[in-house]
Chains A and B, each alone.
Chain A
């Protein structure tokens, strides 16, 4: 039994490790979105700030990227789900002997590297474009069009997999029943098969949108004049990142959590309604007076959803009135004091050194040339461009990154907003 409990502890430890591995980066990134330093970091904590969110919403390129991502996403969802559904339907209709081959062919795009798909999309449509003798900026070479086409190449396969799974549970007899009752094939499809496929179509659409939203490999070749969010982010990261990107990540995480909770709550609600209907009497069903359970009753997901929603509203409300200026000023002030202290120390040390050197020199005045050698060594210190010169330190207000990890090295890049003197003069 001891072994058993040991094993259980082991499993819990493993789970804890696994989830911290899985979620840890997200949590830390989310925290950095609210910390005031200019480089995303969670520790040491300085000031709670929402400025990275406003910075995010003032960043034209990111906003434009989001817009393009949504446009591409909408196009990809439409095209992929349509092609996926067609592919899935085809799979169920096709001659069984060909089915395996067909399946392999239609799944292949998932296995092909996105880079290859990107390049081939670009090359192929460029050829088509020339074939039609169109200009370089024609519709067929438009970044949005190419990206949608390129992404859909493999996202449609994902959609097909999702749709096939549902379609396999479809009783073809239902379509036959509809036909038998006088429906045309189109009516049978629209009124019977499509409603049956709706949940899977919704899943496929969400999957397609997410896959499109996060795609980089393929898009990087096709985006043309329409950089998507991932492209913009990648380009930004090249020049250093700010917590504004963390803020974006945080928003995406929160939206995801919202969607997941809403979905869960919806499913649970459906179950409850079905259960209530099952136990209802005919009269209740007839009169429409059936008392359905409330949205929140015995629905944990719904409760959490509402709590999260209220928390979000609270946070946004706080953000609207909250000003981190005082805190930032305090931190600044404290840092200035620390710096002053260090400067004092340094000055003192210098003075001591100088005094010692003077004393030594006085002691060994008119000595052998060996001491002559040490003297230039000592003066070599100033050869580091006076960075160690306390006076210089005081002048531009920057710290030595090696000595002061608490302060970002690129503070000065923020137009002296962090300059304690600037604050004080206010």
Chain B
């Protein structure tokens, strides 16, 4: 969709005193995209959003919205609307007054406001609840009122700061699809902030993965999941088995890694790091649980791992098998449920196989949960 208004961050730095909250961010967000910033708490996501909405002046660099530099333009003059992490609904105004606050500012009549409020209330499935006060609504309803209030301002870019984090799981999943649908319907650019990688993957057209103020990777869900740029991105997005080691040999875009505990294993070098890994470099090898398959016992080679079954977890569509490799190395394997069971194999050694294209080799780095 090219109708929407794009957003560009150019060499953006944001400092609080000596502390650097955002470091050299360069992001291009297409008009009409559902774009997510994904990262753990405290990595600077809110800070970026506040710079886009105009509450924060960047220490350096530019924010461009629709190609216009926003330097010196206040939040009330920017074509953005922000949905706050705590929603910030006006507690003393009724729902309909909350929703049409932006119209009141522009001097619209009560009649016009009522009409628009009714339309938006219909859209968020809160028909007839306009007379209530925010305190009289449930969490999910408040959420939707906040969205309606932001949409009522007819922004070109909607900014959402972890809008679902306060909701329970069920509602969160429901709201995910609802948000996505609203975005499709109104066709404006959404910039979405979350620390929940599942949320980012399911909803977004594109994702920026952040760590400590640095953007590690930008791309669509698939490329981030399958082809991470950094060890952090690989471990933060989805689950991954990590094998540490050193580069033994580089063969084109593939690499042989001497792992510390699991022998020599082959892997593909992630796209962004091709040509950067050299022999003797410390490296990390990532294999997703679902990339493993069972192999005939005793098979040996550079894409086989042997381990003992320690625990089985049934998830319905799949089994999660926890195994212990050589030297106590923990490996998680997800196998589709095709009627088998591993209960009887508890404690047995098994051989696991993976395809080299599904194993990603990256320079050693910080992991997401260490």
Q: List the interface of chain A (C-beta within 8 A of B).
A: 171, 173-174, 176-184, 187, 191-192, 195-196, 277-278, 282-283, 285-286, 288
Contacts and interface: CB of A to CB of B under 8 A. Distances in A.
Interface in B110-160: 128-133, 136, 149-150, 153
Nearest to A171: B88
Contacts of B106: 182
Q: Is the interface of A mostly helix, strand, loop or mixed?
A: helix
5 contacts: A174-B88, A178-B105, A181-B153, A182-B105, A288-B131
B342 interface: no
A213 B164 CA distance: 53
Given A176-B75, A176-B88, A286-B130, 20 more contacts: A173-B84, A174-B90, A174-B91, A176-B55, A176-B84, A177-B84, A177-B89, A180-B80, A181-B81, A181-B102, A181-B105, A181-B149, A182-B105, A183-B105, A195-B92, A196-B92, A277-B133, A282-B128, A285-B128, A285-B131
A277 B101 contact: no
A286 B131 contact: yes
A192 B129 CA distance: 21
A218 B123 CA distance: 62
B75 A179 contact: yes
Interface string B64-107: 00000000001110001110101011111000000001101110
A288 B131 CA distance: 9
B128 A180 contact: no
B132 A277 contact: yes
Of B106, B130, B132, chain A has the most CB atoms within 10 Å of the CB of B132
B92 A178 contact: no
Contact of B128 (A174, A187, A277, A286): A286
B53 interface: yes
B128 A283 contact: yes
A178 B132 contact: no
B128 A179 contact: no
A180 B75 contact: yes
B132 A180 contact: no
A173 B104 CA distance: 19
B55 A182 contact: no
Of B82, B88, B104, B133, chain A has the most CB atoms within 10 Å of the CB of: B88
A195 B133 CA distance: 15
A176 B50 CA distance: 10
B128 A182 contact: no
Contact of A180 (B82, B92, B129, B130): B82
Contact of A183 (B55, B76, B81, B89): B76
A177 B88 contact: yes
Interface string B40-78: 000000000000011100000000000000000011100
B74 A179 contact: yes
Nearest to A177: B88
B88 A191 contact: no
A180 B86 contact: no
A44 B326 CA distance: 105
A290 B317 CA distance: 51
Nearest to B95: A285
A195 B80 CA distance: 26
User: Which of A181, A195, A286 has the most chain B CB atoms inside 10 A of its CB?
Assistant: A181
Q: Which 10 A-B pairs have the closest CB atoms?
A: A173-B88, A177-B88, A285-B131, A181-B102, A282-B128, A179-B76, A179-B75, A183-B105, A180-B82, A182-B105
A179 B54 CA distance: 10
A303 B84 CA distance: 44
Interface in B154-197: none
A286 B117 CA distance: 13
B83 to A, nearest CB: 9
A54 to B, nearest CB: 47
A199 to B, nearest CB: 10
Contacts of B133: 277
A182 B76 contact: yes
B356 to A, nearest CB: 50
Contact of B153 (A174, A182, A192, A285): A182
Contacts of A288: 131
Nearest to A175: B88
Contact of A184 (B76, B89, B92, B129): B76
Contact of B136 (A176, A184, A191, A278): A278
A174 B98 CA distance: 11
Contacts of B101: 178, 181, 183, 191
Contacts of A195: 92
A173 B84 CA distance: 8
Contacts of A179: 55, 74-76
A286 B126 CA distance: 12
A174 B55 CA distance: 13
A124 B53 CA distance: 49
Contacts of A283: 128
Q: Which of A182, A278, A283 has the most CB of B within 10 A?
A: A182
Interface centre among B54, B55, B131, B150 (most CB of A within 10 A): B131
Contact of B105 (A174, A187, A286): A187
Contacts of B89: 177
Contacts of B55: 176, 179-180
A177 to B, nearest CB: 4
Contacts of A285: 128-129, 131-132
Given A182-B105, A277-B136, A283-B128, A192 B90 contact: yes
Contacts of A176: 55, 75, 82, 84, 88
**B76, B89, B129, B133 — most chain A CB neighbours (10 Å):** B76
Contacts of B131: 285-286, 288
B104 A191 contact: yes
Nearest to A192: B90
A282 B141 CA distance: 14
* Centre residue among B80, B89, B92 by max chain A CB count within 10 A: B92
Contacts of A184: 76
Nearest to B84: A173
A113 to B, nearest CB: 41
Nearest to B89: A177
A294 to B, nearest CB: 21
Nearest to B102: A181
A171 B76 contact: no
A179 B133 CA distance: 21
Contacts of A181: 76, 81, 101-102, 105, 149-150, 153
B87 to A, nearest CB: 8
Contacts of A187: 105
Contacts of B132: 277, 285
Contacts of B150: 181
